[in-house]
Structure 1
């Protein structure tokens, strides 16, 4: 029975991801998720009693996959003991691949948060928490990569903002709009290198 539960949950999350990315969460009805996933409506509501619980679960699963992909890409392109600069730039290379991938429609987390409204809008705290959790974990990962720098936290936070901005800009202006982000990161890391040596 557990295998069926896990299988149904996976299909539901995959269907939710496809539909939410294509149409936005507000436009998608639970019956569409049911049809796409091939599960009964009773089963869907047993797994996720509300659309916002489904959104939060989808965002958490999506975030885990994105962060794992980023980590794998960095390890493949700049395996430890490569220095922080090399590893952080590998993260920017991964971001560029992400925004140029077919079907890229912007950051799912920014899109979900935009549908909720501005900061402090807590009608759907589960979704807001899932968005914040992903962004916090991504910033922490980048801060960890910046460990060679005296101000690793500052470097990680700056590059996190740069990646976020590049992804949002590329979703509006196209993938090429994100290309300068790597050059800006190089310049910022050179300044941080100078501070470390000074």
Structure 2
């Protein structure tokens, strides 16, 4: 029998594939049992409820998603390039054949009305992404308000790409981000020159 940590990892991996591809409510613990190779008894020893497994799936997804994004962004040198790199990474993510949108938006849509813990997980993930993008934007010398605007662009692209089944929203959001960054640069220059 696998040790506890290995068994948990096995169960979460199986659940992640199923929850993300089919939806949380459509997947029972018996499906997780079949996909993981663990017995139902073992699953419930590891996770006392399906919600506990969902929360662990979201926790892992958050960690992996943010690490992958940061890894890509860190390969770019200038602050401006790093901001644009966020949207380029989104394009890569949207282009994956198994892309079904944001696991946190999906989970919130399914369970937000009945699980305060899922709501809290989704909000933490979105807040962490917002904080990350705002930090990248302010590193360019532009205001945090621009960061909030770019977050809305990114979030809109994430949802639109899932619904339309195309990666094009990432390119459109990237182009809009460039225009907004340029507009803020012009605005700052105009004010520093003393003109309106």
Same structural fold, with TM-score higher than 0.5 when normalized by the shorter chain: yes
Q: Within 1, Cα distance between the matches of 2:184 and 2:47?
A: 46
Gapped regions of structure 2 (runs ≥ 5) = 192-196
Is residue 97 of structure 2 the alignment partner of residue 102 of structure 1? yes
Q: Within 2, Cα distance between the matches of 1:49 and 1:191?
A: 52
- Specify which of 165, 169, 172 is matched with residue 177 of structure 1: 169
Q: CA RMSD in A?
A: 1.7
1:23 CA drift (Å): 1.1
Q: Within 2, Cα distance between the matches of 1:154 and 1:36?
A: 45
Q: How many residues align?
A: 189
Contact 1:166 1:181 in 2 (8 A): yes
Contact 2:142 2:185 in 1 (8 A): no
Is residue 108 of structure 2 the alignment partner of residue 113 of structure 1? yes
Is residue 126 of structure 2 the alignment partner of residue 135 of structure 1? yes
Q: Within 2, Cα distance between the matches of 1:148 and 1:155?
A: 12
1:39 CA drift (Å): 1.4
Contact 2:87 2:171 in 1 (8 A): no
Which residue does the alignment assign to 1:69?
A: 68
1:93 CA drift (Å): 0.5
Q: Runs in 1 of length 4+ with deviation above 4 angstroms?
A: none
- Measured against aligned partners, the alpha-carbon deviations of 1:112-155 in whole angstroms (never above 9, x if no partner) come to 111125xxx3x211111111111111111111111235554212
Gapped regions of structure 1 (runs ≥ 5) = none
TM-score by length of structure 2 reads 0.90
Q: Within 2, Cα distance between the matches of 1:51 and 1:61?
A: 15
What is the SS of the residue equivalent to 1:135?
A: helix
Which residue does the alignment assign to 1:49?
A: 48
If you compute each CA radius of gyration, which structure gives the higher value, 1 or 2?
A: 2
Q: How does 1:1-198 map to 2 (within 5 A)?
A: 4-76=3-75, 78-79=76-77, 82-83=78-79, 85-117=80-112, 121=113, 123-173=114-164, 174-197=166-189, 198=191
